[in-house]
Amino acid sequence: MKKLVVLTGAGMSAESGISTFRDSNGLWEKYRIEEVASPIAWENDPETVMRFYNLRRKQLFEVHPNEGHKSLVSLEDKFDVQIITQNVDDLHERAGSSNVLHLHGELKKVRSTGYPELIYTLDNWELKIGDTCEKGHQLRPHIVWFGEGVPMMGKAAEIAEQADIFVVIGTSMAVYPAAGLISYVKQDVPKYYIDPKAFHVSGISNLKIISEKAGNGVPRLVNELLKND
């Protein structure tokens, strides 16, 4: 089976009702990264950081996978599909995708500030000051903040190197190291980039740009790939 690797960003979930970050009206127009998504913010004002992620998590319990997420699942009939997502939502999993690697963490998970290997899945949206791990340490969102390492990057790069087909969906390709993943993909591998503003990449060989929203562009590409391979 050919290995089909999909890299997704916030645009993948936009039609499910989750805001992107850098579009007009995006999250980073309403919040300052250094006040809600950095280790310093957590140190100075953990309540504000928690409130930001609690709002995101609350919303996640109210939204559903869109046609884009759903159509990716059918690729598994013919391909060995690996999704690498920058998204912290669980919409790929809820749509039914089998292999999803989260580069920037997961909104529904929290981890111990004292023992980072202690990771828990929340069954409701709220994390509070005073919520601790079994060893008594405060829990924090299981999110990769700006200024922190990206522990899954090595694995993601390995996967990108093995791709026979590489598909990028709904990302501004503005945040590294995730945006650099495409450079690990072999030159002769066919690459597709679905994004209504897909002008962020240049100098990538064998790249087909599909300037459409994920809800239309992904099912269309999926049909094409299933027909041709």
Residues with catalytic annotation? 104
Q: Could you please report the per-residue DSSP string of 114-150? A: S-TT-EEE-SSS---TT-B-TTSPBEEEEE--TTS--
> Largest alpha-carbon pair distance within the chain?
55
Alpha-carbon gap, residue 145 to 208, rounded angstroms? 31
Applying CB under 6 A, the residues found at the interface with ligand OAD are 9-11, 14-15, 20-23, 26, 37, 86, 104, 144, 170-172, 174-175, 195-197, 213-214
Asked if 110 and 122 count as a contact pair (C-beta separation under 8 A), the reply is yes
| Nearest position to ligand OAD, beta carbon | 11
Cβ nearer to ligand OAD, comparing 139 with 198: 198
Cβ nearer to ligand OAD, comparing 170 with 189: 170
Please, what sign has the CA dihedral across residues 126, 131, 133, 137?
positive
Cβ nearer to ligand OAD, comparing 136 with 203: 203
Cβ nearer to ligand OAD, comparing 14 with 182: 14
Select from 121, 122, 212 the least CA-distant residue to 167: 212
Q: Smallest gap, in angstroms, from Cβ of residue 206 to ligand OAD?
A: 20
Q: Smallest gap, in angstroms, from Cβ of residue 1 to ligand OAD?
A: 27
Q: Smallest gap, in angstroms, from Cβ of residue 41 to ligand OAD?
A: 12
Q: Smallest gap, in angstroms, from Cβ of residue 99 to ligand OAD?
A: 19
Alpha-carbon gap, residue 11 to 17, rounded angstroms? 10
